[in-house]
Structure 1
Amino acid sequence: MTKLVLAIDDDKLVHHVVDEALARTCKILHAKNGEEGLRLAKKYRPDIILLDVEMPGVSGFEVCKQLKKLEETTEIPVMFLSSRADISERMRGYNAGAADYIVKPFNAEELLARINVLDDYRKTSSQLKQDVQRAQTTAEIAMTDSGDMGRIMRYVGQSYHAHDLNTLSTHFLEFFMPMELDVAVAFWYHQDAMFYSSEGAIQPIEQELFEKHKDGSRFVDFGRRTIINYSKVSLLIKNMPVDDVAVYGRYKDLFPHILEATDAKIKDMEVSEDALNKVEHIGQVFAELSDHLSGVGDHYSGKVAEFQAVLESDKLANLEPSERERLQELYEHFTYLSDELTIIKYKLGEVTEVRQQLIESLNKIAKPWGEDEVASQADIELF
């Protein structure tokens, strides 16, 4: 289906670049200022809005804020177009409600790629919205009378039995549903970053903010948003109740507990994965060594049998007794080595069996039982 894109900018060249990039895949509406853009957005409800930051009259930030206040346009992803690349401007754009931020000048290929990302985000969010709302309602009913620490303890139990990041993220996001908080989370797993959101998909600008602040302060506040950082997990809260001092303070005291538990779980998952990989590698080396020794042993045993046959034949009848005695000693020596090789092969077999038991034990640690046996916070009676 053709996407409807609204471009709001006072620069004719930008409109030309937008046409060049999107004409084949999108229907494009053009507005030369904020007032016209707001009018077209309310009338046509485009799939995506491209919005200039600096315009005569109403600024792009103000236009975006108004778009997010209107029921008919609040869900439309907005991408800011700006000549300023500093992080403070991106954070200001995100606070205004933007889903992405692209720096001028940009080329057609870059714009098209980021439009496609935003469109995927829009579709995913729309598909998952109803499911998220149903899950939130169920969780709220189940947790109405439960205390904060009770739910934290329930989450710790759930996280212990989570053996992959997708399962862990499900339990993690479920924790925030009764609080009516819109959150996203980043798991810093080994050298990779995995992002999850209560909306079902993470916005590009959120991902960028996570990455920019990963090594920053424990708490990063900007507007109604707060990022809380730990070494293996970062939490973005998009609607912190900054106007309610008591609730705001309680959340800042409460959330580090769940983040500490999550941080420890991810570290354990990394250690378990590393251990499994090392055991697999050791097993592969031993298997190769066992195969090699098996071949050597078979060849060696064959040669020992040939040696024995020569000793028992009449071919050595003319040798001196001392020479025959020397050959007999050599035969006994080779027989001893053959027996030692057999023992080594046996021991390698034992090592292989122990390795398999170790793998099974590590897998039980990583996955204590099936996911269908792990209770969610929504279907457990809490205390």
Structure 2
Amino acid sequence: MPYSILLVDDDEVNHDIAMTMLGETHSYVSAFNGEDALALFSERKYDAVLLDVVMPGMNGYEVCQAIRNASSHNDTPVLFVSSKDCIDDKLEGFKAGGDDYITKPFDADELAFRIERLVKYSNEIDTLKVNCEAAEEVTMTAITSCSELGLCLEFIENTYRCNTLSELSTAILALCQNLNLKASVQLGLLGEFRDFSNFGVINPLERELLKKGRESKTVINIEKRSFFNSAYCSLLVKNMPTDDEEKYGRFNDILALVVRGANARLKSLESNVQAIQAKNQGLKELSQIASKDLESIEHIFRHYNESCQELIERLIFDIEESMLTFGFSDAQERTIRETLDGAKDDLQQIQAHSEDMSTTFNDFFIKLDKLID
């Protein structure tokens, strides 16, 4: 496989030797000092740099350090070439950022093998970098998706604590706000619908579109505007992220799930309200029946009291007439009269208690009717 190689050596003969050993399949650019090498390096990307250590001016270590500090292509493989075989020299090369070190003299196979290995490792590293960047992007997407899904799950959990249209609309619009979405929502119970928004007043056209969308029970996308609809809930989002296809898809899924969750809660609330209304209707009918029964009882009591009153008065009259023929003394007559007056008072008190009881029952049924209504 042909490579582009930057040859850096102050001796022209060494350039010819390296090109002869590596063969004509590769392309070569020659530099005879450090300054020229860096200038050529900045102009393009090379597959490898073959770098002599001992040169006048900048030595090979200094050139390698400059390559590693460059703004671009600073990961290009560098193979040091030197006649020095000391371990300290090799360590110096690695400290400078070199990838390999070959000592003179060397044969063609060794040089070709070293170059081939460096380029192969460099390509593998580039592939790993690309894979890491892709993995990082996937990871960030997954984290973001988990965060967004967490908001959705939190919303579904919160809906169970929402018992009014206002509470449910607040939960929906708060989720949209967390996603940086401008949203309006139309919610209804028992055929009556109300509008809510997190960015201002809903205009008449939007209100009509929400109604039409709700009747369609589908998702409608119009550029940046999207309608998510169900029987009890219609959601309008005005700034969907259409420039980010993946995010746009996630938001479509999340908001559709949010509307389904809101619709389920509203349906449940409506069933509860209908059950309460049916129960109240039963109580109201029972109250009406009890009120009528109370009226009948009150009528019977009143008739009974009147009869008792008439009976006592007739008894008193008859006794008074009889006393004229019995020959009672004045003291005896007073005793009998006091006894009769006492019985009459007791009867009046009983009648008064009966009237109090009737008033209490009337008050109870009035309060019950108000509570049911």
Q: Which is greater in Rg?
A: 2
Which bin holds the TM-score, normalised by the shorter protein? 0.3 to 0.5
- Using structure 2 for the length normalisation, give the TM-score: 0.41
- Using structure 1 for the length normalisation, give the TM-score: 0.40
